[in-house]
Chain A
Amino acid sequence: MKQDRLIRAFRKGEEWAFRRVYEQFFDPLCLYAVKYLKDGSEAQDVVQDVFAALWLLHDNFDNCHTIRSFLYISVRNRSINLLRRQARTIEKISQMQQKHTPAEEAEMVIEVEVERQLLAAVQNLPSECRRVLMLSIEGRSYQEIGEMLHITTNTVKNHRVRAVKKLREMFRYSRSESELTNRLSAKTEY
């Protein structure tokens, strides 16, 4: 329901909704574009252009997943297009030659997106919960974590349970993704 409100506001072109999306995705998308472009300022230019396009097309989106797909697809396409254009100038040819395999391309997205989600989720947790969660993501046991933070194993467990409960609420909305069709293909983005 809460996502509904965001998307409704987004479609109406309300600035807060756009800002929300921008804040969530700007930095991750820059990191994603850098993987293609190997250049921070170009990457940020591409991402800004993509957000500008998103803002212009705001009434075309009816759920958060299409927005997310649009962002990743557009950043990838624009990055590749930019590389192509640059490849016509000699010095960039070598860069073009190291093409990515589809598997590598998938990895680039997954890495960025997982990190984005974890960071977003973790940001909203109380600090003790956060520390416990980060350590357990790194694969440490309750006991190890307890020793590191000087708290009892039970407290670690409690923090972890609280963290997971909160995270469940946050992640709930993305469950329906599988039922959604991806309305945006690479071609329809502009």
Chain B
Amino acid sequence: MTDELIISDLISKKLTGSISPEEERRLQQWLEDPQHRALYERIRQKEDLGKSFCAYMDIDSQKDFRDTLNRAAITPRKNSFRYALVAAVLLPVLLVSGYFVLRVHGVVDRNPVIAHSTSQARLILASGQVVDLSAEQAPELLAEVDAVIDSRERGCVLSYRNSAGDTVSEGPTAAAPMAEPELHTLVVPRGVNYNVELSDGTLVYLDADSRLEYPSRFVGDSRTVSVSGRAYFEVSHDTQHPFIVRTSGADIRVFGTEFCVSDNGTQTTTTLIQGSVGVFESRKDVELARLTPGQQAVVSGGHCEVRAVETLYVTAWKDGYFIFNACDIDRIMEELSSWYNIDYVLEDPEVSTHITARIRRYDNIDSVLDILAKTRSVNFRQEGRVITVTK
């Protein structure tokens, strides 16, 4: 078996042009056998390499991953797996053949299934290097900056927790002085969300279409991060080192608490769930508001307005739900567009339905639109990734 695998390595390297002269010689030797040559040509000419690539990307292996862990624990045999199993194996076949059909007829698929996708969050290091957190090499690259991707109940967490202590027997690095903290930026695109655990243990849930800038390790008097988009913070308690969240319009100072910040570039909304936070004018020492749990401060152009809110609606996204409470369709579509990465058009801008609904976020958009269509008199038309809202 090892022989076959070595040959596979050589062929892959050959086809991608990354083979060394020494390896080239060994491959040529192997290719002297006409049967081997035939196999090589067959692989090389495989028209559908590019297509099976697309197919692979679309299989949902994640689902079965849990099953495997469970199986390792008890090894139950269930026939109910079978449906999922058949689907996962057939899917690439269907996608590949579908691609061919479309290609042959020159038709572009106008209505792909719009599902929310996971893990294409990117981390930008101080050096400017961009790490795709879903890429195979991500854990190794992250190791160099003392971060790990941890799979937890709530999904993946990029964690810097251990960079403060825990230097157990990691060879020469353990003895070396701790590296200077670097400024990292986590960029979460539309259609995805991601969580970070900072070096002080503070947990940040970042929603789709958001970014967070933070040091890989906190040093100095305060813990400062910058956010745009929407984030939920669970700040670890440390009165000695105030935690400061910078947004385009305000600074928020906290001492260990839970709150949600959203910032769209012109308006910063801070909602306090637990504890106490002060909202300050951006980069100044002027306190605009001091919030108590259940209050929301909206800062826009230096002007601050405080109101009481039902925090459930503000934080639902973090728990995987859309909750709309008498919302305009406009607001709802805005929310959907950042999660499913779609664009939308309101056919009749006067549509003034107020919709109240609680919908799971992970379903594909069809089910969400179905549910919305059932609530009141809105309908949807889908063309590609554009959803038109009709009456």
Contacts and interface: CB of A to CB of B under 8 A. Distances in A.
B189 interface: no
Which secondary structure dominates where chain A touches chain B?
helix
Contacts of A5: 139-140, 143
A65 B82 CA distance: 30
30 contacts: A5-B139, A15-B151, A20-B136, A23-B61, A23-B65, A27-B92, A34-B89, A40-B88, A41-B85, A41-B86, A43-B89, A44-B86, A51-B68, A65-B2, A72-B1, A72-B5, A76-B1, A106-B3, A109-B8, A113-B4, A113-B5, A114-B15, A119-B52, A119-B56, A123-B53, A124-B137, A137-B16, A167-B13, A170-B18, A174-B9
A81 B364 CA distance: 40
A26 B56 contact: no
A16 B90 contact: no
B329 interface: no
Given A22-B61, A72-B4, A111-B42, 13 more contacts: A6-B140, A20-B136, A34-B89, A40-B86, A53-B72, A65-B2, A113-B5, A114-B8, A123-B57, A139-B44, A139-B45, A171-B16, A171-B18
Contacts of A182: 1-2
Contacts of B17: 136, 160, 163-164, 167
Interface string A74-112: 001000000000000000000000000001001101110
A110 B2 contact: no
A187 interface: no
B254 interface: no
Of B43, B50, B52, B141, chain A has the most CB atoms within 10 Å of the CB of B50
A111 B43 contact: yes
Contacts of A9: 139
A57 B13 CA distance: 30
Contacts of A136: 17
Interface of A: 1-3, 5-6, 9, 15-20, 22-24, 26-27, 30, 34, 40-41, 43-45, 48-49, 51-53, 55-56, 65, 68-69, 72-73, 76, 103, 106-107, 109-111, 113-115, 117-124, 133-134, 136-139, 160, 163-164, 167-168, 170-171, 174-175, 177-178, 182, 186
B103 to A, nearest CB: 14
Contacts of A76: 1
A72 B3 CA distance: 12
B12 A117 contact: yes
Given A114-B12, A167-B16, A167-B17, A24 B136 contact: yes
Given A72-B1, A182-B2, A19 B151 contact: yes
Contacts of B141: 2
Contacts of A167: 13, 16-18
A139 B89 CA distance: 29
Contacts of A23: 61, 65, 136
